[in-house]
Amino acid sequence: MKFVIEHLELKVSAWVKLEYSEISRIVGKSNLIFTNVKTKNLFLEGLGAVRKESITSLQFPKMIVLDPAAKQELTPADCTHYDYLVFGGILGDYPPRARTREELTSKLPADVVTRHLGPLQMSTDTAVRVAKMICDGKKLSEIPFVDNISIELGEYECVGLPYRYVRGSDGEPVFAKGLVQHLKKKRTF
């Protein structure tokens, strides 16, 4: 399975770099393709293949677009019938604004196959982690999650992440490596 990230942010911010690095660790550089990257980006080239074209013009054969608005959830069986999973590389908004549908799915042919990963918004790296777990044979209902995380930044400060994360074996949410440190350092999104 190839994992395709359609880069939809204006730039590759520090937060985006953390998520994209985590995605490369999850699926491996040889299984990761970044599309819609308009300028040469050596950082991304170190994580996977990089294409300047959008997935809307590339349209890989046998692909599934992961869209929260899809009617069906991704299943292990889907992963045996398709070769590409496409994710919108979008930093989330709260409340969600259906940006995947607006900026990606609506620009593809009407018959494009879409699937969702449950009712709650996830970071891009979490969505890839969950999809990889499903492709490895787990059902979505078997994956433990933690929702609406609060991270302490200091003695009197915290930041809320109104998203869904995979619950690790230690019971804690699994974040992109370096994300918590980034939030504490920046004290902002």
In a domain, 151, yes or no: no
Amino acid letter, 101: R
The total domain count for the chain is 1
Angle CA 26–31–32, to nearest 5: 80
Cite the beta strand spans of the chain per DSSP E: 2-7, 32-35, 49-50, 63-66, 84-89, 113-115, 145-152, 158-166
Share of the chain above pLDDT 70, in %: 94
Number of residues written out for the chain: 189
In a domain, 155, yes or no: no
Sheet holding 2-7, edge to edge: 49-50, 32-35, 2-7, 84-89, 63-66, 113-115
Instruction: Tell me if residue 163 falls in helix, strand or coil.
Output: strand
Contact 18, 179 (CB under 8 A): yes
Amino acid letter, 114: T
What contacts 174, CB < 8 A, 6 or more positions away? 126, 129, 165, 166, 167, 168
Give the domain CATH number at 48.
3.40.1280.10
Q: For tokens 């449950």, name the residue.
A: 118
Instruction: Compute, in degrees rounded to 10, the torsion defined by CA atoms 25, 31, 35, 37.
Output: 50
Whether the model pTM is above 0.75: yes
Contact 103, 67 (CB under 8 A): no
| Cα–Cα distance, 48 to 166 (Å, whole number) | 23
| pLDDT tens digits for range 125-164 | 999 999 999 999 999 999 999 999 999 888 888 888 999 9
- Residue 112 belongs to what domain range? 2-141
In a domain, 186, yes or no: no
Angle CA 118–119–123, to nearest 5: 75
- The mean predicted confidence, pLDDT, of the chain is 92
In a domain, 60, yes or no: yes
Contact 128, 26 (CB under 8 A): yes
The pLDDT of residue 92 is 65
Q: Model confidence at 59, in pLDDT bands (50, 70, 90)?
A: confident
User: Six-digit token pair at 121?
Assistant: 């918004």
Taking 90 as the threshold, does the pLDDT of residue 90 lie above it?
no
Mean pLDDT of 34-57: 95
